Homo-oligomer: A and B are copies of this chain.
């Protein structure tokens, strides 16, 4: 009798590969819809179309919504396509490829920190022609969270001090940076900044954040929708 192990092992690998391919297909489809919805959002906030056109498009949107039936996740449920904490969040309003709200911010981990790049659209407008101050806070808060995770202490924001030096341009590549500067028990201190790619020496916005990295039991209590223990 031959050992069943190699066979099972091969089957396990094939199943795993199939699961990975399915996850990839699902994420690609979510990102494709996110992309088209971001384009639709942009068109909707900058058009000067007539009321009849706007109502016609509104009816079309209603028909699209009706197609997204079937299983829907509950409020606190982590989507099956996500890695939480410390990984891909497909629907994050800041980084999510599937979020119509997100610029989205593309994040790269760096030593004890994170770098993000994005372009804000007219949908993110605060003062005419510039980004909303709250959007800058979202970018920094999010990237500081990534910096904490990179430093091995994924955490939640306790405080965030934002300083607005110059307005943030729309439709222009931005670079966001965040670095962990200090840790104190479960507390993590982080600094961050936003600049335009075309003039990185001129800082537009700076932030200082204090995050707290909860212990795993606390994380499970806070987020009952987690499918597995945080890594």
Please tell me which stretch of A2-10, A76-84, A109-117 contacts chain B, meaning at least 4 of its Cβ atoms lie within 8 angstroms of it: A76-84
Number of copies of chain A assembled together: 2
Chain B nearest Cβ from A225, distance in angstroms: 5
| Residue of B with least CB distance to A51 | B29
In the assembled complex, the Cα of A210 lies from the Cα of B147 at a distance in Å of: 27
Partner of A34, one of B32, B44, B101: B44
| Chain B hits for A138, CB < 8 A | 132-135, 137-138
**A55-B33, A134-B134 given as contacts; is B73 within 8 A of A46 (CB)?**
yes
- Across the interface, do A128 and B226 meet the contact criterion of CB distance under 8 Å? yes
A158 lies within 8 A of B164 (CB): yes
Q: Would you give the 0/1 interface string for A144-187, flagging 1 where the beta carbon is closer than 8 Å to chain B?
A: 00000000000011111111100100110000000000000000
Q: For the complex, is A231 an interface residue (Cβ under 8 Å from B)?
A: no
Asked if residues A225 and B40 are in contact (CB atoms below 8 Å), the reply is no
Near B by CB (< 8 A), chain A positions 31-59 give: 32-37, 39-41, 43-59
Cα-based distance from A157 to B204 in the complex (angstroms): 13
Binding site for B on A (CB under 8 A): 25-26, 28-30, 32-37, 39-41, 43-65, 67-73, 75-80, 84, 91-94, 96, 98-101, 122-129, 132-135, 137-142, 156-164, 167, 170-171, 222-223, 225-226
